[in-house]
Structure 1
Amino acid sequence: MRTIAVLGGGIGGLATSYYLCRNPQVTKVIVLESSSRFGGWLWSTRRSDGAVFEHGPRGIRPAGAVGRNTLNMVEELGLEGEVLPVTYSHIASKNRYLYVNGQLHKMPSRISELLRTVPPFSRPLLLSVASELLVTKSKEDDESIHSFVSRRLGKELADIAVDSLCRGVFAGDCRKLSVRSCFPPFYNAEQRRGSLILGMLLGSGPTPVISPGSLAQRSIKESWAQWSLRRGVESLPESLAEYLQQSGKVQLHREAAVKQIHPSASGWKVHLEDGVVSADHIISALPAKALSSVLPSSCQPLIQQLQDVSSVTVAVINLEYEGSILPVMGFGHLVPSSEDRGLLGVVYDSVPFPQHNRPDGQTTRLTVMMGGAWFQEVFGPPEAVTDEHLIARATEAVQCHLGVTTAPIWSRVALQRDCIPQYYLGHFSKVESMRHFIRENNLPLSLTGSSYDGVSVNDVIFSGRTAVQELLGTGV
């Protein structure tokens, strides 16, 4: 395998290139990124006074094989000294809130809280958990997350907690999202054990084997719930880009939008604005719709399936306030769609990561997330909405939900267009069908990134690793 072109320089494309360049079978990797920076949605603002603000993912979970895999990469890149861990005993891990019926409600975090009725729920959650063991297994191939949880744990839990969770994780509507693709462990637990509870206790199927390096071992020993980096999560793609640059195998190209790709005798010709790149194989880390627009017409069935993968736009508004203004301490609060369709949640950034506050004088950093699956309905077309309108809406939410009467001393709007793919019902079979078409037609093409196998940072990095393993048939 002489030359591999990687389309997209977000975390998916960079991680894929990292695994490629560590493999002796690969001679040359060409990374093509359409924008002026690498890192995609991992994007941090570092102010000159030392404050750090995130415009995308802010905390990364260390749990499971995919979490260990990312921590191993962080260690290999020499970033372990930059890691900011948040343990399960930290107040940000223990205190998570829902804003329901005009009030903040702390989510149960101890067994004792499951035994009694805790608002906004009308009965003890342990009753829902206990009765789940008696629910019969579904015979359907797929099901919406709302339907799955309603059936197994009750409609109230689905309407309030799961609705809010899906808005926080996917900025999406749990009534449309697929449980099989969004929460595979839930689906597998029911299929293999007949119960979520038994699946959690006994395991719900095979998981990848990733040996933990010393940093991942430390995360287990110290019981980390999440982690970030001292200069923000953008340090990860920055370090990856630097590693790739120094590898001698990788060419990194910014502002190199792919216009069209065509088959050639040896693989592909990739047409750019100002030239053509030849490659034996392409690994696409582009969003599905972006890839669909550059494939040749001979790939029509694949093009159609790629176009069917929708994504949503999220407005991320960073706010900074003078002093300590929070009425409660915790990670933040989520808002169910029944309460406010446009407002997804508020993260209390200063609580889990006070190291990102400016060092002199006390301030509070918050992030308000808005829109998602409801963006168009609430705010209209993304190109028509103004920063002023979004900031006003965000500060109004902070005032209403948290009782903060002072104005922010600093604000920043990042309108993240089409940033989170939505795995609707049948997503898994759609992705299987895409990969089947690629195999059947012997296309020198691999699909990776958030459009297919998981939207989290860990999932996307692991998807790049898997694509390289499947292509080269060896460990990485």
Structure 2
Amino acid sequence: MTTVAVLGGGIGGLAASYYLCKSPQVTKVIVLESSSRFGGWLWSTRRSDGAVFEHGPRGIRPAGAVGRNTLNMVDDLGLGGEILPVTYSHVSSKNRYVYVNRELHRMPSGISGLLRTVPPFSRPLLLSVATEILVKKGKEDDESIHSFVSRRLGKELADIAVDSLCRGVYAGDCRKLSVRSCFPALFNAEQRRGSLTLGMLLGSGPAPVVPSGPLAQRSVEESWAQWSLSRGVESLPESITEYLQRSGRVQLHREAAVQRISPSASGWTITLEDGVMSADHIISALPAKALSSVLPASCQPLIQLLQDIATVTVAVVNLEYEGSVLSVEGFGHLLPSSEDQGLLGVVYDSVPFPQHNRPDGQTTRLTVMMGGAWFQEAFGAPEAVTEERLLARATEAVSSHLGVTTAPSWSRVTLQRDCIPQYYQGHYRRVESMRSFIKEKSLSLSLIGSSYDGVSVNDVIFSGRTAAEELLGTV
């Protein structure tokens, strides 16, 4: 009999449980979630009038092996009919903006955009790409994203485009984040091909083999850039939870905070507030710091490595305005840190997903994201900042950046504490050391989730699949 305990009921823990459930080798899966809901950062508000607002990830990318893998899961769960696809030809895919020098600038796209000098850049981007082939390969085994892009494509691109991108994806500082861990395709392209351009043209290395199911195939045929679900992305963890409940082999526990885990003769003893349970194997989908606080003292080297993984806090402010208030159409705009440290960007939710607007009457939904690596500097301690202050800052940004003069008719402020891990330089070495320690000590423990191998929804789901398959290979 094999009992697997999954610590954490976010999308990573649910995905691992879903893949374990498909194997007859696993008799019982126990999912322990400390909060009152499953799904973690995949969190949608569905208003009674039909409007949907996302407080975490919104559009999910279908591209690559990990994108196909998620779509295969969506297919299997019977959610295909709820997919809201956004194609590459859609205005939200083509129009992405940066806010620089108090002005909105559309990011260059297509051949004409690369050939011309497009503000805020001082020269055509094609020049940076063309000269990049001549740049020598870096000698370091890791490098900050800013240093890497400055060296290969020029400081201006790093200061504006890449700085903004890292704030949009990681809510982080590209001068600290690791290119090897955050953008492995770029790092591998230089290592294997000596050039990003050649790496993109010729491929930069092996990728996991994931066959395309019907939905993944459709995403290619229809050229999807991203997708959501008709009732919001939280439908995905909800569907997995229902699937697990129906399986009869999974025990799902909410409000079950793990206080301590201790190695035992047969695997692990897990101490909860109201009792003790045992498991043959633990898959931890907890954030790195949360796991570090429940491990025994005998795991001190692992505890230290886990504590070294920093996280950032993001304020997410959802706004709804009456009427069509946007002066531009697109996905949204980002700000480089030189423009405004506290404000990361604004997503124009109604453009890619108008289906999430309330069905009666014209409205505009926006999401303003603030803080991240600059939260403390911009707003002070997260526990001391008021919702009123964050809302005022968000509405002021919408007014000054987009010229929206009316007040929002509805708003919601969510403070996502420690929501995005920061992969600083040397992150890959820390993760390697963690897994080496686990192997050396023969601990029946798997590490999954956004703290280690990628922060996207697709990456986290795939880490759950990988851990399940590795475990099933040894059971």
Whole-Å separation in 1 of the counterparts to 2:26 and 2:246: 15
Whole-Å separation in 2 of the counterparts to 1:375 and 1:361: 36
Whole-Å separation in 2 of the counterparts to 1:184 and 1:252: 35
Whole-Å separation in 2 of the counterparts to 1:88 and 1:465: 28
Query: How much does 1:139 deviate?
Result: 1.3
| Per-residue CA distance 1:320-377 (angstroms, 9 max, x = gap) | 0000000000000000000000000000000000000000000000000000000011
Query: How much does 1:474 deviate?
Result: 8.3
Aligned to 1:382, what secondary structure does the other structure show?
coil
Pairing 1:164-243 to 2, within 5 Å after superposition = 164-243=164-243
Pairing 1:284-299 to 2, within 5 Å after superposition = 284-299=284-299
Pairing 1:457-468 to 2, within 5 Å after superposition = 457-468=457-468
Aligned to 2:139, what secondary structure does the other structure show?
coil
Per the alignment, residue 70 of structure 2 pairs with 70
- Read off the aligned partner of 1:407 and give its amino acid letter: A
- Read off the aligned partner of 2:411 and give its amino acid letter: S
- Read off the aligned partner of 1:394 and give its amino acid letter: A
Pairing 1:106-117 to 2, within 5 Å after superposition = 106-117=106-117
Per the alignment, residue 449 of structure 2 pairs with 449
With the length of structure 1 as denominator, give the TM-score of the two structures: 0.99
Per the alignment, residue 434 of structure 1 pairs with 434
Whole-Å separation in 2 of the counterparts to 1:188 and 1:236: 32
With the length of structure 2 as denominator, give the TM-score of the two structures: 0.99
Unaligned runs of 5+ in 2: none
1:57 corresponds to 2:78 = no
Whole-Å separation in 2 of the counterparts to 1:401 and 1:424: 31
Per the alignment, residue 343 of structure 1 pairs with 343
Per the alignment, residue 102 of structure 2 pairs with 102
Whole-Å separation in 2 of the counterparts to 1:23 and 1:460: 20
Whole-Å separation in 2 of the counterparts to 1:331 and 1:129: 25
| Per-residue CA distance 1:424-446 (angstroms, 9 max, x = gap) | 00000000000000000000100
Task: Among all aligned residue pairs of Structure 1 and Structure 2, give the percentage whose two residues are the same amino acid.
Answer: 84
Q: What is the alpha-carbon root mean square deviation over aligned residues?
A: 0.8
Per the alignment, residue 145 of structure 2 pairs with 145
Pairing 1:32-431 to 2, within 5 Å after superposition = 32-431=32-431
- Read off the aligned partner of 1:333 and give its amino acid letter: H
| Per-residue CA distance 1:136-185 (angstroms, 9 max, x = gap) | 00110100000000000000000000000000000000000000000000
| Per-residue CA distance 1:53-81 (angstroms, 9 max, x = gap) | 00000000000000000000000000000
Query: How much does 1:14 deviate?
Result: 0.2
| Per-residue CA distance 1:178-218 (angstroms, 9 max, x = gap) | 00000000000000000000000000000001000000000
| Per-residue CA distance 1:281-321 (angstroms, 9 max, x = gap) | 00000000000000000000000000000000000000000
- Read off the aligned partner of 1:188 and give its amino acid letter: N
Q: Paired residues, what number? A: 475
Whole-Å separation in 1 of the counterparts to 2:474 and 2:99: 48
Whole-Å separation in 1 of the counterparts to 2:340 and 2:114: 27
Unaligned runs of 5+ in 1: none
Aligned to 2:295, what secondary structure does the other structure show?
coil
Whole-Å separation in 2 of the counterparts to 1:128 and 1:467: 40
| Per-residue CA distance 1:38-57 (angstroms, 9 max, x = gap) | 00000000000000000000
Aligned to 1:465, what secondary structure does the other structure show?
helix
